[in-house]
Amino acid sequence: MAKCDEGYLCQVCGQEVADITQSDLYLRYVIGLLNPEVLHTSEERHLRCNPALAQFIVDDDFPAVCCDDDFDKQLLDADFVRQRETLVTRGWRRLCELRDADTPILEYPLPETRASREPS
């Protein structure tokens, strides 16, 4: 099978990341942690395979993820956690919107992320 026919494989577990709402790569892109120029060369992971990021998704439709290391949000500053939960949850909800939409990839990011990338 050609590499392009394999889909996106998770660098952690090796399984296919079958849906954008499971994608760590696209979540990082949507919230501005990944530059669009390196999107096609960056490794993919399931959100659950990156608990340091997934733990910040707070939504009834996304089962909570625990991060059992130094990056556990319970060990972090409460204001940082609140801000990160807001951003990451909004990003995940954006992925849910994009799942069945015919949206150009440059329009995937949150509005503030797109605005920050526009030339001054």
Q: In whole numbers, what is the pLDDT of the chain averaged over residues?
A: 91
Please name the residue that has the structure tokens 């919107």: 97
Q: pTM of whole model > 0.85? A: yes
Q: Which of 23-32, 35-44, 49-58, 88-97 has the lowest mean pLDDT?
A: 35-44
Dig out the tokens for 13 from the structure: 């577990």
Nearest to 43 by CA among 77, 66, 9: 9
Q: Which pLDDT tens digit goes with each residue over 10-45? A: 999 999 999 999 999 999 999 999 998 998 899 999
Query: What is the phi/psi pair of residue 107, to 5°?
Result: -100, 5
Q: Where are the domains of the chain?
A: 3-111
Does residue 56 sit in helix, strand or coil? coil
